[in-house]
Amino acid sequence: MFEKVLIANRGEIALRVIRACREMGIATVAVHSTADSEAMHVRLADESVCLGPPSAAQSYLNIPAIIAACEITGAEAIHPGYGFLSENAKFADIIKEHGLTFIGPTADHIRMMGDKITAKQTVKELGIPTVPGSDGEVTDTDAPKLAGEIGYPVLIKATAGGGGRGMKVAKSAEELSFALSQARTEAKAAFGNDTVYMEKYLQKPRHIEIQILADSHGKVVHLGERDCSLQRRHQKVWEEAGSPALNAQERDEIGSIVTRALEKLGYLGAGTIEFLYEDGRFYFIEMNTRLQVEHPVSEAITGIDIVREQIRIAAGAAMDFTQKDIVFEGHAIECRINAENPFTFRPSPGTITQFHTPGGLGVRFDSAIYSGYRIPPFYDSLAGKLVVHAKNRNECLLRLRRALNELVVDGIETTIPLFQKLVREPDIIDGDYSIHWLEKYLANLGPQS
Ligand code: MV4
């Protein structure tokens, strides 16, 4: 096992990794920007190294400074958390070239899944169901005929995209050439690559993703699904496990399709296969080759420490459980507590004046904030994750209401008031929502405070 791990991240996820390391007897190195000298991850780690100025480009994305921090401290492995360098294949390559270990998949698999056309073709060949559409790249010449065959509406997506950027719907043949050129322009500006592909546009799907773990001994397991349909502008707001839309048989079916595929691929580490789910069918959209923000809901229902497994897998250890050992127990919901206006989502950095976390059975609050802490304006606005677990979904909702009432984060605006409303909405209580539900709900609320 590693003796010392460097965490190339900040905030709650840096704490999450430090905690796993400490339980495993692994020493930890925090890295930080000058804006984060007072941050909790710096205080909680055994050692810390300042990387540079506040901007992410000069600190948390500064690869030479991170490698140097490893060399100075003698850290043998790097956990990238999520965001920042977590899906940067070049970073994984450089870490390897320096004789260090990247706690994550191989650079080749990161690269493969980062290109959405390659990802889709690869998983399709491995037996994962995909959205009907172009076989790879679509040209302006082929597009009209293909769209006619697929049937409108169609969606143009950027191969370098993800998270919704460079995505355009064409509802009819008249809209096609404009959608194509808009998608290309956006993709070129955002990613420097204007290659696009075409898919049938699914009108009212849910976003359901499967968490997997794969070790270097050829074993792959799945930890069930997370329903992340409640999003705003491609930012997840509320995630739950299991999905209110799936039964045990559907879970086992898609779970075994995915684990068999990733076994064939020779995938390593934690990963998430994202699907759209509509009318009882799954359609692959993307694979994330990293630990995800919402991993705790899967941990809650399986009892598996995903970060611990990531670290053990990277060190070459075999998972000491099989699919049969994984039993899904109860229901879990995560609410993302952001430092934002709860209805406009405008960022609200500033100083936390009062902070009280909820507790009790089935309640977890992952956060790096504390009373008197000043949230800097330079990074994303996730301030905490409230994760609630109970015997079934109904009790989970009751527990979530109770926990939200205990939670106090004063001095800044947060998304807490939104969740106070959501837990009382009939559609949410019934689990009856698609990927469009939240945006429609917010639009109907109208301008607030
Ligand atoms: C789609 C889709 C409908 N049909 N693909 C958005 C981000 C990217 N990960 C994929 N996305 C979508 N792909 C087809 N063929 C609708 C979306 C989509 C979406 C997906 C998941 C969660 C929220 C979403 C919000 C808007 C659009």
DSSP secondary structure string for all residues of 78-128: EE--SSTTTT-HHHHHHHHHTT-EESSS-HHHHHHHHSHHHHHHHHHHTT-
Reported for 162-168, long-range contacts at CB under 8 A and 24+ positions apart, including other chains, are 162/114, 162/116, 162/286, 163/234, 164/233, 164/234, 165/190, 165/191, 166/190, 166/191, 166/196
Coil vs helix vs strand at 6: strand
Q: Could you give the C-alpha distances from 129 to 203, 213, 313, 340, 442, in angstroms and in order?
A: 18, 20, 28, 37, 32
Amino acid present at 103: I
Answer whether residue 449 shows pLDDT above 60.
no
Answer whether residue 264 shows pLDDT above 90.
yes
Q: How far is residue 209's CA from residue 287's CA, in Å, rounded to a whole number? A: 9
Q: Give the distance (Å) from ligand 1 centre to CA of residue 360.
A: 36
Taking residues 431-440, what's their average pLDDT?
98
Query: Ligand 1 within 6 A of 131 CB?
Result: yes
User: What percent helix, strand, coil does the chain show, rounded to 5?
Assistant: 35, 25, 40
Nearest CA to ligand 1 atom 24: 435
Nearest CA to ligand 1 atom 23: 435
Say which CATH class 4-103 falls into. Answer: alpha beta
Query: Ligand 1 within 6 A of 70 CB?
Result: no
Q: Give the distance (Å) from ligand 1 centre to CA of residue 204.
A: 10
Nearest CA to ligand 1 atom 21: 207
Atom of ligand 1 nearest to the CA of 231: 23
- Residue 407: half-sphere exposure toward Cβ, Cα within 13 Å: 28
Query: Ligand 1 within 6 A of 202 CB?
Result: yes
Answer whether residue 229 shows pLDDT above 80.
yes
Q: How far is residue 162's CA from residue 9's CA, in Å, rounded to a whole number? A: 21
How do beta strands 374-375 and 408-409 pair?
unpaired
Is the link from the previous residue into 255 a cis peptide, with omega within 30 of 0? no
Two tokens at 387? 């994760």
Two tokens at 196? 């696009």
Query: Ligand 1 within 6 A of 435 CB?
Result: yes
- Give the CATH number of domain 132-200: 3.30.1490.20
- Indicate which residues carry an active-site annotation: 290
Question: Residues near 203 by Cβ (< 8 Å), separated by ≥ 6?
Answer: 153, 278
Coil vs helix vs strand at 142: coil
Write out pLDDT tens, residues 378-404. Answer: 999 999 999 999 999 999 999 999 999
Q: Give the distance (Å) from ligand 1 centre to CA of residue 164.
A: 7
Domain positions in the chain: 4-103, 132-200, 206-445
Write out pLDDT tens, residues 119-142. Answer: 999 999 999 999 999 999 999 999
Two tokens at 424? 């009382």
Write down the residue that tokens 């096609």 correspond to: 176
Q: Give the distance (Å) from ligand 1 centre to CA of residue 274.
A: 10
Q: How far is residue 360's CA from residue 391's CA, in Å, rounded to a whole number? A: 15
CA angle 190, 192, 194 (to 5 degrees): 90
Region label for 446, one of left (φ > 0), alpha (ψ between -120 and 50) or beta (otherwise)? left
Nearest CA to ligand 1 atom 16: 202
Write out pLDDT tens, residues 9-59. Answer: 999 999 999 999 999 999 999 999 999 999 999 999 999 999 999 999 999
Nearest CA to 141 out of 103, 109, 167, 180 is that of 180
pLDDT confidence band for 444 (50 / 70 / 90): very high
Query: Ligand 1 within 6 A of 76 CB?
Result: no
Q: Which CATH number fits domain 206-445: 2.160.20.60, 3.40.50.1010, 3.30.70.2860, 3.30.470.20?
A: 3.30.470.20
Query: Ligand 1 within 6 A of 246 CB?
Result: no
Nearest CA to ligand 1 atom 17: 164
Query: Ligand 1 within 6 A of 155 CB?
Result: yes
pLDDT of the residue at 447: 74
Report pTM: 0.97
Answer whether residue 105 shows pLDDT above 70.
yes
What kind and span of H or E run contains 445? helix 437-445
